[in-house]
């Protein structure tokens, strides 16, 4: 009787990156199975629509697959790199002409219904308890993080919106990110 070998089901971050760079499909499946939920939550928080999130998550994984050779471990963790791809893809989608036209073409009652339904907090999309971590920041820091990372505002736009000097926005944003980094150390 032939012995059936067991397939390795867990990979270290470094092993996974090697597999992806080799365009190994098993590595890609492992990546999707282990990271899609977290990335889905990031995207959903930005676009606030399950339909659009499902569309965007596919683009995100294609971008990760196609640009894995651009990942540089000396610049940050792999997970952080993927979150940035997801966040930027979601923001780009919201700013796209196609999405803006789609919003204009929706009948008002459907749009109002969908936006209120989708704007409720979905705790199942907050896999690492990020909402709790974010809520432990001061209110002004929460607002900056929300505007920059979830609504896609630039620092100049935040300055205009909040009517505070650009230098102040930059300083407060840096302080907010440093505080957030300290709070997230426990989640690594």
Domain positions in the chain are: 9-121, 128-188
The model's pTM: 0.56
Q: What percent of the chain has pLDDT above 70?
A: 75
Q: Tens digit of pLDDT for each residue in 117-160?
A: 444 444 444 445 667 777 878 888 888 888 887 777 888 888 88
Shared fold status for 9-121 and 128-188: no
User: Virtual CA dihedral for 103, 105, 111, 115, nearest 10 degrees?
Assistant: -10
Residue recorded with tokens 């073409």: 105
Phi-psi domain of 142 (left: phi exceeds 0; alpha: psi -120 through 50; beta: other): alpha
Domain 9-121 belongs to what architecture? Answer: Orthogonal Bundle (1.10)
Domain 128-188 belongs to what architecture? Answer: Orthogonal Bundle (1.10)
């Amino acid at each position: 009787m032939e012995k059936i070998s067991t397939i390795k089901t867990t990979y270290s971050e470094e092993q996974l990156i090697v597999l992806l760079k080799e365009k190994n499909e098993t590595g890609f499946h492992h990546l999707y199975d282990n990271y899609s939920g977290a990335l889905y939550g990031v995207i959903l928080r930005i676009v606030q629509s399950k339909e659009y999130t499902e569309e965007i998550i596919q683009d995100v994984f294609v971008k990760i697959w196609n640009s894995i050779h651009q990942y540089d471990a000396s610049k940050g963790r792999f997970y952080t790199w993927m979150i940035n791809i997801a966040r930027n893809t979601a923001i780009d989608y919201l700013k796209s002409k196609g999405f803006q036209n789609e919003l204009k073409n929706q009948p008002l009652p459907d749009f109002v219904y969908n936006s209120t339904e989708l704007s409720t907090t979905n705790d199942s999309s907050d896999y690492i308890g990020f909402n709790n971590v974010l809520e432990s920041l001061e209110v002004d820091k929460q607002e900056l993080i929300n505007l920059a990372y979830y609504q896609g505002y630039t620092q100049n736009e935040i300055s205009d919106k909040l009517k505070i000097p650009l230098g102040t926005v930059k300083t407060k944003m840096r302080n907010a990110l440093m505080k957030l980094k300290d709070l997230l150390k426990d989640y690594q």
